[in-house]
Structure 1
Amino acid sequence: MVSPTIGGVMVMGHRGTAKSTAVRALAAMLPPIKAVAGCPYSCAPERTAGLCERCTSPDGKKAPVKATTVTIPVPVVDLPLGATEDRVCGTLDIERALTQGVQAFAPGLLARANRGFLYIDEVNLLEDHLVDVLLDVAASGTNVVEREGISIRHPARFVLVGSGNPEEGDLRPQLLDRFGLHARITTITEVEERVEIVRRRRAYDADPFAFAANWDKETAKLQRKIKGAQKRLPDVVLPDSVLYKIAELCVKLEIDGHRGELTLSRTATALAAFEGHNEVKLDDVRRIAILALRHRLRKDPLETQDDAVRIERAVEEVLA
């Protein structure tokens, strides 16, 4: 939430551990954003790049000076497993074609998710052709549609969030690599905590509005903390000494490519901003190392050691 450049998060774990509930709660936690009124892609009026054709001024540099600005919630869009490619990418507006005889574009889910979050439940079961689409759009931040005589290019910059159960199948390596962070959710075994979960669920079932009202203060407090972190983020310093340790850690774990260093540095900086620090410390890197590197380790079928243990040992050696 603090730094969308991290690249999203994959949440894998046991069934019934509230993965989907946590993701869908994002909408209530995020501070609202400003957008150009009537824009189907929620373009930012203050941006000078990445705008759609409708919001670009004649000089091609920024939104029209007289554009009306509205405040909207951050989009959190669900991508169902059974969605067609037309529904995801957008297609010809059939209604306008039949009634007005014009070729018009009907935006899809990627358009709605621009500047927000795109959530895919059971992402490891997603059809291959949709995975290919997401890979292209996630890499470029732009959705290109060429079909039925229409040619459209529009911004589609979103934070990709996926959840699933690893027992139901693995995710394609190409898509897994696009997620910045990888979180593992396990079933809670502490009896007191399990009882508290049941109590809260029963309270919600009895009166959802009263239950939500009881947590309004906590929600507002978290919103303020997130908003403050977003403002503080550009001023957080990442010292070279910490950056060298990040690179050493990735070399120690034999991480392919350079997304490991980029993700570690961005996430540690976001964590420092969230905690109210002005400088990234080694402890920030230590706290997020498993989240950022677990899914980037080379797979060895003969390896008996858990991925998290391998990372913890490397962290102790490099960041000691």
Structure 2
Amino acid sequence: MKESIAFPFSALIGQEDLRTALLLNAVDPAIGGVLIQGHKGAGKSTAVRALAALLPDMEVVADCPYHCPPAPLDAMHDECAARVLAGEPLKTVMRPMPLVELPLAATEDRVVGSLHLEKTLAGGQRYFEPGLLAAANRGILYVDEVNLLPDHLVDLLLDAAGSGINRVEREGISVTHPARFLLVGTMNPEEGELRPQFLDRFGLCVTVRGIENIAQRREVIRRRMAFEENPEDFVKAWTQAEQALRQQVVRARQTLDNVALPDEILDRAIGISLAMGVQGHRSDLAIVRAARALSALLERDRVGEEEIFEAALLVLPHRIGAEAMEERSDLRGRLQKAFSGEKVKQGEDSNIPESAEELDDWESSMEVPGATAAGSLLFSFLKKKVPNAS
């Protein structure tokens, strides 16, 4: 069967917030994935599948079905770790980072793995057949129409996403293997909502809408028709742009840990979450990680307020609470208010609001970064770096 050809990521038009969210997760998977909301036909699935070509290859143990790295031990399957402890040299190879799609109709056995009956009967020993969670380890697990996923599969994903481990206890089999994946889901909100505990697992959230600019819509049609008529030639025409964007992602991954995070910037991220009424600490972590990944993509050596603001636009939409649903379309305006006030000081003199009265004071004056839309900061930069960047 001939492998399908993905539409080039660099040939996508518009949807800068969606493309930014995907690129940030490509740089730092610890951000926690992305939930993409929008109507059918808006390019959600096309963008996700296109991302795979930009991901760097990874070093894996050659004969391991779990894509184990050669180190450290705590990131390896038990059998690979045991071989290392026994002093056995492991042969490694470079492989593309996997993009695994989880069908809505998948069985539990297909997701977590199960007893391989044929091999078990032939060999006389129980043989475990890894599932989709094993195939997605260290890669992307993509669920289209994730809001329609059956509850029992949602529970499995919650367990794996929370622990980074898949445990299978069934049919006399006891298997534990790493299951660290970047979770990407697409959904049409009109077809149902996600359970709150599942919704919170996504690091970023974007809403995709149809492009209203006539010239851009015309170009979308031309590019799609050209791709469908001759996918090979279309992809070849975008090879230079794809390589340049891939190099930008690889470079950002390499420099990520060197991007400085000043205390006042950390306090700014915390202050935004508090001002927006977000519970828990996941939003703080996601804002900081996304801002650091954005700084790395922008080739900056420290996180600034611009990056924090852009990151917050992607981190907060699904975390602002049910009571704010009607106001989500005005997230930028609300975030500008939350971003206002004097710079947050560090240590005991921190000016993070601790009461409603202090919050009102903190929002009274305004100094907001100049970005005009989520993703605009990154793509204004990339147009100078990547050939034909849209």
CA RMSD of aligned residues (A): 1.7
Could you tell me how far apart the structure 1 residues matched to 2:334 and 2:142 are?
A: 28
Could you tell me how far apart the structure 1 residues matched to 2:123 and 2:73 are?
A: 34
Could you tell me how far apart the structure 2 residues matched to 1:293 and 1:267 are?
A: 12
Structure 1 residue matching 2:94: 3-state secondary structure: strand
Q: Give yes or no for contact 2:145–2:185 (8 Å, CA) kept in 1.
A: yes
1:47 corresponds to: 72
CA drift at 1:14: 1.5
Structure 2 residue matching 1:10: 3-state secondary structure: strand
Structure 2 residue matching 1:197: 3-state secondary structure: helix
2:295 corresponds to: 272
Q: Give yes or no for contact 1:43–1:55 (8 Å, CA) kept in 2.
A: yes
Aligned to 1:227, which of 250, 255, 263?
250
CA drift at 1:303: 5.2
Cα 1:248–1:226 shift into 2, 3 Å: same
Give the partner amino acid of 1:37: A
Q: Give yes or no for contact 1:183–1:291 (8 Å, CA) kept in 2.
A: yes
1:122 corresponds to: 145
Aligned to 1:17, which of 42, 45, 58?
42
Structure 1: which 5+ residue stretches go unaligned? Answer: none
Could you tell me how far apart the structure 2 residues matched to 1:92 and 1:311 are?
A: 52
Q: Give yes or no for contact 1:267–1:288 (8 Å, CA) kept in 2.
A: yes
Alpha-carbon displacement from aligned partner over 1:280-310 (angstroms, at most 9, x marks no partner):
0000011121210111112117955635245
How does 1:144-223 map onto structure 2 within 5 Å?
Answer: 144-223=167-246
Give the partner amino acid of 2:193: D
Cα 1:115–1:311 shift into 2, 3 Å: farther
Give the partner amino acid of 1:31: P
Cα 1:305–1:258 shift into 2, 3 Å: closer
2:100 corresponds to: 77
CA drift at 1:277: 0.6
Structure 2 residue matching 1:54: 3-state secondary structure: helix
Structure 1 residue matching 2:59: 3-state secondary structure: strand
Structure 2 residue matching 1:152: 3-state secondary structure: strand
Could you tell me how far apart the structure 2 residues matched to 1:74 and 1:305 are?
A: 34
Q: Give yes or no for contact 1:253–1:314 (8 Å, CA) kept in 2.
A: no
What is the aligned-residue identity percentage?
A: 45
Could you tell me how far apart the structure 1 residues matched to 2:202 and 2:30 are?
A: 11
Could you tell me how far apart the structure 1 residues matched to 2:161 and 2:253 are?
A: 22
When normalised by structure 2's length, the TM-score is 0.79
CA drift at 1:317: 1.8
1:261 corresponds to: 284
CA drift at 1:46: 3.2
Could you tell me how far apart the structure 2 residues matched to 1:50 and 1:97 are?
A: 27
Could you tell me how far apart the structure 2 residues matched to 1:263 and 1:305 are?
A: 19
Alpha-carbon displacement from aligned partner over 1:18-60 (angstroms, at most 9, x marks no partner):
1001101122111111100010001111323221012114675
Could you tell me how far apart the structure 2 residues matched to 1:39 and 1:280 are?
A: 38
Could you tell me how far apart the structure 1 residues matched to 2:316 and 2:328 are?
A: 15
Alpha-carbon displacement from aligned partner over 1:168-214 (angstroms, at most 9, x marks no partner):
11011111100000011111011000100100011011110000000
Could you tell me how far apart the structure 2 residues matched to 1:267 and 1:316 are?
A: 17
Give the partner amino acid of 2:94: T
Deviates more, 1:37-46 or 1:121-130: 37-46
CA drift at 1:100: 2.0
1:236 corresponds to: 259
How does 1:79-158 map onto structure 2 within 5 Å?
Answer: 79-158=102-181
2:23 corresponds to: none
Q: Give yes or no for contact 1:9–1:182 (8 Å, CA) kept in 2.
A: yes
Aligned to 1:3, which of 16, 23, 28?
28
Could you tell me how far apart the structure 1 residues matched to 2:172 and 2:75 are?
A: 24
Structure 2: which 5+ residue stretches go unaligned? Answer: 1-25, 344-366, 368-390
CA drift at 1:316: 4.1
Give the partner amino acid of 1:30: L
Could you tell me how far apart the structure 1 residues matched to 2:247 and 2:259 are?
A: 18
Could you tell me how far apart the structure 2 residues matched to 1:272 and 1:302 are?
A: 30
Q: Give yes or no for contact 1:90–1:107 (8 Å, CA) kept in 2.
A: yes
Could you tell me how far apart the structure 1 residues matched to 2:328 and 2:53 are?
A: 39
CA drift at 1:65: 5.1
Could you tell me how far apart the structure 1 residues matched to 2:339 and 2:83 are?
A: 56
Cα 1:301–1:218 shift into 2, 3 Å: closer
